[in-house]
Amino acid sequence: MSAWETVIGLEIHAHLKTRTKMFCRCATGFGEPPNTLTCPVCLAHPGTLPVPNRTAVEWTIKLGLALGCEIAGRAVFHRKNYFYPDNPKGYQISQYDEPLCVDGRFVVPGEDGFEVGIVRAHLEEDAAKTVHLQGTGGRIVGATRSLVDFNRGGTPLVEIVTQPDLRSADDARRFLQLLRQTIVELGISDAEMEKGTLRCDANVSVRRPGEGYRTRWELKNMNSFSFIARGIDAAARAQIALHEAGEEVVQETYDYDADHDTLTPHRSKEEAEDYRYFPEPDLVPVEPDAAMVDRARAELPELPGMRIARHSEELGAGDAWTLVTTGRESKLDGLVAGGLDPRTAFNQVMNRDIPADPNWTELARVYAASGLTAGAVEAATAASADPGFTADEYLAQKAVSDTSELEPLIDRILAENPGQVAAYRGGKEGLIGFFVGQAMKETGGKANPKVLNELIREKLNA
């Protein structure tokens, strides 16, 4: 496996959470009764015409900027022609060779960080939803009938295509995680794979390091980041096996079956579909002017990738990643603003449930203090959002570290538990927890656990 390099490119679709569909003003929605969010346009009635959603265009530009893309001076919608029940016009309005955003780059920060080229980001409409029914007559045959719900049809989709710059399933997972967070923080999509508002296909090939590209497989139908990672691995393994056996890898599309860890060929066709792209004659080009692009750029928040890079200086890359991607960042920022050092703040926010809107300065004082009882810190945390919260009463609750107080207590506990003592001395070092626990119980949680631990260990090892 180490002699081979995996080459991965991703194709990501995100539903834009605009109020209306891409080319008609039906409300977008999820989970509504079938065919209640439709109109003649998205049902492709005769004589209907598309009118593009301005917000969808603006959000795509915003996303393109966040991905470091160049915004096209002139973008064109194209028709992609094919027949399927979820495609009512018999063509999908999409973008072909003049998309809205091109040539970007996305940085996944860290020591083992990397950069992924973004080929393009473009705007299109989603297909409707088809439900396949099983055959009747008591036999389980292939579906004989399908039911179509056009509610989803026409929802704006942004499609992002990466360069084949990813080199492992784990890289892909991290890239997707950060990309997803970026998209969500831009406020343009909920980007949830379980809900279908984020979809991702992978193009996978392998090669010997230094070689050009070999034939790739397209993988579809993976609806979680971990399935995508596993699908990539499965594909890479299978291709390596073929190459090493001297067999040909044929360009194919596969569905990844996570339950069985297998790749099954995607719907088989005798011939590849010819989409006969041509410029959509019912729509005029979009030429984003400088004002539109500047406005979008001004609306960009500090993106998660940049914040991870920033926090890495104080916390290191790994912890910075964890902080930003688990959504604990604002709490760390609050504590640091309140006077706490970043490292301590990190430990606290990752291990505690800090309520919303606490008094950061006072809470920082609590966390900065040493030798408080565990109970005191917990209680302070819980109360930190209460009006009038101060650190003072909690700072008084120092844990007992006075060995002269603790030693007699420990001696008594050891004497009362000879069996455990013997077991510990016989090798069961995990039992230290038992003794610490007993002592904490007896002191009502007020003993300093570190000191306890040291003392107990000393005595047991004596």
Partner 1 sequence: MEITREQVQHVARLARLELSDEELERMREQLSAILEAVGKVAELDLVDVEPTAHPLDLVNVLADDVPRPSLPREEALANAPDPEDGFFGVPAV
Partner 2 sequence: MTVDTLRLTAEAAAGLLDRGEVSAAELHDAYLAAIGERDGELHAYLRTLDEPNGEGVPIAFKDVVSTRGVETTAGSKILAGFEPVFDATVATRCYEHGLSLLGKTNMDEFAMGSSTENSAYGASHNPWDPSRVPGGSSGGSAAAVAGGLAPWALGSDTGGSIKQPAALCGIVGLRPTYGTVSRSGIVAFASSLDQVGPLTKTVRDCALLYRIIAGRDPCDSTTVELPAPVELPEGTDLEGLRVGVPRQLNEAEGIEPGVKAAVDAAIQLCEQLGASVGECELPLSVEYGMPCYYLIAPAEASSNLARYDGVRYGYRAPVEGGLTELYERTRHDGFGDEPKRRIMLGTYALSAGYYDAFYGQAQKVRTIIGQEFRAVLQDFDVLVSPTSPTVAFPLGARTANPLAMYLSDLLAIPPNMAGLPGLSIPCGLAEGLPVGLQLIGPQFSENLLFRVGHALEQAIGFDSVPERLR
**Positive or negative: CA dihedral 409, 410, 414, 415:** negative
Nearer to partner 2, 38 or 448 (CB): 38
Tell me the closest approach of the beta carbon of residue 383 to partner 2, in angstroms.
57
Please choose which of partner 1, partner 2, none residue 97 contacts, taking the beta carbon within 5 to 8 angstroms, the exact cut-off set by kind: none
The residue within the footprint of partner 2, chosen from 29, 73, 85, 437 (CB under 8 A), is 85
Please choose which of partner 2, partner 1, none residue 47 contacts, taking the beta carbon within 5 to 8 angstroms, the exact cut-off set by kind: partner 2
Count of residues binding partner 1 (CB under 8 A)? 50
Nearer to partner 1, 248 or 289 (CB): 289
**Helix, coil or strand: residue 270:** coil
* DSSP-assigned states of every residue in 112-125: T-EEEEEEEEEEEE
Nearer to partner 1, 149 or 201 (CB): 149
Nearer to partner 1, 282 or 405 (CB): 282
Residue range at the interface with partner 2 (CB under 8 A); choices 50-58, 64-72, 107-115, 412-420 = 50-58
Is there binding between residue 49 and partner 2 (CB under 8 A)? yes
The residue within the footprint of partner 2, chosen from 62, 79, 180, 328 (CB under 8 A), is 79
Q: CB–CB of 201/219 below 8 Å?
A: yes
Instruction: Please state the separation of Cα 166 from the chain's center in Å.
Output: 16
Is there binding between residue 27 and partner 1 (CB under 8 A)? yes
Residue range at the interface with partner 1 (CB under 8 A); choices 103-111, 126-134, 353-361, 390-398 = 126-134
Residue range at the interface with partner 2 (CB under 8 A); choices 83-91, 208-216, 259-267, 427-435 = 83-91
Strands 217-220, 252-257: parallel, antiparallel or unpaired by DSSP? parallel
**Helix, coil or strand: residue 381:** helix
Sequence-distant (6+) residues with CB within 8 A of 270 are none
Tell me the closest approach of the beta carbon of residue 250 to partner 2, in angstroms.
20
Q: CB–CB of 62/299 below 8 Å?
A: yes
Residue range at the interface with partner 2 (CB under 8 A); choices 76-84, 175-183, 375-383, 404-412 = 76-84
Tell me the closest approach of the beta carbon of residue 19 to partner 2, in angstroms.
17
Residue range at the interface with partner 2 (CB under 8 A); choices 84-92, 104-112, 174-182, 290-298 = 84-92
- Of 323, 304, 309, the C-alpha closest to 113 is 309
83: part of which helix (H) or strand (E)? none
Tell me the closest approach of the beta carbon of residue 51 to partner 1, in angstroms.
5
Please choose which of partner 1, partner 2, none residue 147 contacts, taking the beta carbon within 5 to 8 angstroms, the exact cut-off set by kind: partner 1
Type of residue at 394: Y
**Positive or negative: CA dihedral 40, 80, 184, 225:** positive
Tell me the closest approach of the beta carbon of residue 160 to partner 1, in angstroms.
21
Helices (H), 208-341: 225-244, 290-298, 304-315, 317-325, 329-337
Window 258-277: residues binding partner 2 (CB under 8 A): 274, 276
**Helix, coil or strand: residue 108:** strand
Window 119-178: residues binding partner 2 (CB under 8 A): 146, 148
DSSP E strands: which ranges in 56-100? 70-71, 78-81, 91-94
Type of residue at 138: G
Tell me the closest approach of the beta carbon of residue 357 to partner 2, in angstroms.
45
172: part of which helix (H) or strand (E)? helix 169-185
* x/- letters, 43..62, toward partner 1 (CB under 8 A): x-------xxxxxxx-----
- Of 70, 73, 226, 56, the C-alpha closest to 155 is 56
Residue range at the interface with partner 2 (CB under 8 A); choices 49-57, 163-171, 364-372, 416-424 = 49-57
Quote the CA–CA distance of 162 and 40 in Å, as a whole number: 35
Q: How far apart are the first and last CA of the chain?
A: 52
Nearer to partner 2, 85 or 437 (CB): 85
CB-based burial label for 207 (10 Å; 0-12, 13-18, 19+): middle
- Residue 276 region, left (φ>0) first, then alpha (ψ -120 to 50), else beta? left
Quote the CA–CA distance of 64 and 58 in Å, as a whole number: 10
Please choose which of partner 1, partner 2, none residue 48 contacts, taking the beta carbon within 5 to 8 angstroms, the exact cut-off set by kind: partner 2
Tell me the closest approach of the beta carbon of residue 339 to partner 2, in angstroms.
57
Where do contacts with partner 1 occur on this chain (CB under 8 A)?
18-20, 25-27, 33-40, 43, 51-57, 74, 76, 83-85, 131-133, 142-150, 267, 271, 274, 276, 279, 281, 283-287
Where do contacts with partner 2 occur on this chain (CB under 8 A)?
40, 43-52, 79, 81, 83, 85, 88-91, 146, 148, 274, 276, 278, 281-284
